[in-house]
Structure 1
Amino acid sequence: MPRTLARLVVRAADAITALLGVGHAAGRERISEADLRDLIAANTVLDPVERRIIDEVLAAGASLVREVMMPRTDVVFLHANLTLADAAEMVRAETHTRYPVVDGTHDDVVGFVHLRDLLIRPEDDGCVTIGELTREVKRLPGSKRVLAALSEMRRERQHLAVVEDEYGGTAGIVTLEDLIEELVGEIHDEYDAAPEPVAAGVPAEVDGRLNLADFAERAGFELPPGPYETVGGYLMARLGRLPVAGDEVPVPAPDDAPSGWRLRVLELDGRRVARVGITPLPLAQAVIPATRTATERARVS
């Protein structure tokens, strides 16, 4: 999507956020989402593209920050006592521009540093540590709505926020780009890895980190709701344990489909599900329980 259209979407998001009373205009006269949709439906000036944009922005308002964040297991943290030279060496292989800084565990985030803080520096500063250059970082609860978070971060000119869980721990991080992409789709630049080709029909495999909404869009069918937010989380919940390569879990077919699907763990990244295969499930097997791996079957016998 062109960046000019992305800017239009963001402006629409700001306007809708203010009208719904979740932005800096909270406290003024508010309007419900249903009333706003009625106003849009009755408006004769908006063209089809503008109506679609507003509908997509409103739909994204139901998303939570924790659904679009980068989980802490994928975050590159820098320790406050690292020297600039050591930190610069660490980030040379990375593609990010901002890094959260910790002073202890990953729950002890004290701020962040920008890539230019590490690479543009005097040559005689060998004793300077990351902690001395740390900037204040914004914090957001994982339960905050995407629209409200986007409006708040833009208003405060913040590009990175630490996402905290209900216990005050670090759940992950979210960037302004993450929030915008939730509204307008992926924004690729020359530093991004090439996107996976999207084939017609159900894909043969997907990333295990896909959230449920992205999975449904990519695969063409939805996973049952539950106490999980990703494909890997669904597999773990169905298995009742940490997945291992080769585990298979059936997905029941909806009422209007002749059969379901089988999800298979193809690859792990540590304890996390990295790649998941998708195959159609014969009708007779549409409601079978999660499948044990060959190793487990041998152990039971």
Structure 2
Amino acid sequence: MDPMEPRQPVSPQAGPPQPPRRVARPLVWLLSKSTDLAVRLGGGDPQALREEITADRMRAMVAGNTQLTTEERALIEEVFAAGERPLREVLVPRTEVVFLDATLPLSTAARIAAATPHSRFPVCRDSHDEVIGFVHIRDLLVPEVADRSVPVGELVRPVLYLPASQLVLPVLSEMRREGHHLAIVMDEYGGTAGIVTLEDLVEELIGDIRDEYDVKDVQARRLRDGVVEVDGLLNLDDFAAETGIRLPVGPYETVAGHIMAVLGQVPAEGDWVEAGGSRLAVARMDGRRIERVRVSPNPPARGGVPPDGGETGSVETAAVGAATRDADTQDAASSEA
């Protein structure tokens, strides 16, 4: 993806000009107080147990307490889940991030930034794997910089780098404590896997925080006859929540990754796999990326063999759509010959 292109439909990359710190501070405080409340109601001392209480004991205390509301229980459970969820499951992938090249003149960078709903932009040199920092949109508009030909690389701020294996809750605490709002997530090879923002991590606990600057991102649309169309970047937990289909764990984090792993190739629109008694069809591609997936309650294809370790509601047959397409292509080639 060309970092100089202003038009890039992306998932929320960085919050609007209103700083997320004002949102995050009371929310994190609420999480802390809710946890302390659960400990007290369970007969414990939150100060004495802060370092030694286990997740299992805390869950037992919450389950046995009758004074917590449904919302409080859900909030505490999300804290537990965040403590076990790695950044690779919640990051905005690099293909969905608007990068600014360090050599861009300030005037060009400002035009690109103005065409997006984001406020913070990673700045890279040579490639997206060489992120040297980030700029805030206000940095690009400051009147003090009279020379609009100054390269944006001269205005970069330091950025936090984190491994994709780092867990959400510790990262949230670190970013809040050190005042970071954007972090670059690195893969195991030292390349850029994507980004996370403070707002992203808070949303993992309490759900979406939307305002007038956010682009409406429809992750799932309910169509007729039980058909659901979802974003290809939907992670496995969210996909299960939207469709009731639990895909097996594999070398992927999203429904698009699952489809590509099953097919064993980059799919075309119309290719499909079977899962949980439903058909997962590629509805729209964006280059080589699966952008939208249509889930329809069709019975599994006959003759499919469940993969080893499959579970109820998991994949039942594979690559049927792609195999049919390939066979048609071969037949057409034979006819022409």
TM-score, length of structure 2 as denominator length: 0.76
Query: Residues 1-301 of structure 1: matches in 2 within 5 Å?
Result: 9-11=27-29, 13=31, 29-42=51-64, 46-122=68-144, 124-196=146-218, 199=222, 203-251=227-275, 253=276, 260-282=277-299, 285=302, 287-291=316-320, 292=322, 295-301=325-331
Q: Which amino acid aligns with 2:28?
A: V
Contact map agreement 1:246 1:293 (CA 8 A) in 2: no
Give 1:14 deviation, angstroms: 5.2
Q: Cα 1:164–1:123, aligned 2, differ >3 Å: closer, same or farther?
A: closer
Q: Which amino acid aligns with 1:246?
A: G
- Secondary structure of the corresponding residue to residue 227 of structure 1: coil
- Secondary structure of the corresponding residue to residue 84 of structure 2: coil
In structure 1, what is the Cα distance between the partners aligned to 2:94 and 2:214?
20
In structure 1, what is the Cα distance between the partners aligned to 2:23 and 2:121?
29
In structure 2, what is the Cα distance between the partners aligned to 1:246 and 1:238?
15
Q: Write out per-residue CA displacement over residues 110-140 of structure 1, whole angstroms, 9 at most, x where no aligned residue.
A: 1000000012234631332111110000111
- How much identity, in percent, do the aligned residues show? 49
In structure 2, what is the Cα distance between the partners aligned to 1:49 and 1:107?
41
In structure 1, what is the Cα distance between the partners aligned to 2:30 and 2:60?
16
Contact map agreement 1:262 1:278 (CA 8 A) in 2: yes
Q: Write out per-residue CA displacement over residues 225-258 of structure 1, whole angstroms, 9 at most, x where no aligned residue.
A: 211100110010000011111111111x3xxxxx
In structure 1, what is the Cα distance between the partners aligned to 2:107 and 2:144?
11
Q: Write out per-residue CA displacement over residues 53-83 of structure 1, whole angstroms, 9 at most, x where no aligned residue.
A: 2122212322111111110011111111111
Q: Which amino acid aligns with 2:326?
A: E
Give 1:13 deviation, angstroms: 4.6
Q: How much is the aligned-residue C-alpha RMSD, in angstroms?
A: 2.8
Contact map agreement 1:13 1:151 (CA 8 A) in 2: no
Q: Write out per-residue CA displacement over residues 139-166 of structure 1, whole angstroms, 9 at most, x where no aligned residue.
A: 1111111111111110111100000011
Which sits farther off after the overlay, 113-122 or 186-195? 186-195
In structure 2, what is the Cα distance between the partners aligned to 1:180 and 1:107?
26
- Secondary structure of the corresponding residue to residue 107 of structure 1: strand
TM-score, length of structure 1 as denominator length: 0.84
Give 1:294 deviation, angstroms: 5.4
Q: Cα 1:7–1:293, aligned 2, differ >3 Å: closer, same or farther?
A: farther
Contact map agreement 1:13 1:147 (CA 8 A) in 2: no
Q: Which amino acid aligns with 2:287?
A: G
Give 1:289 deviation, angstroms: 3.0
Q: Which runs of 5+ in 1 are unaligned?
A: 18-24, 254-259
Contact map agreement 2:262 2:319 (CA 8 A) in 1: yes
Give 1:45 deviation, angstroms: 5.4
Contact map agreement 1:212 1:230 (CA 8 A) in 2: yes
Q: Which amino acid aligns with 1:113?
A: V
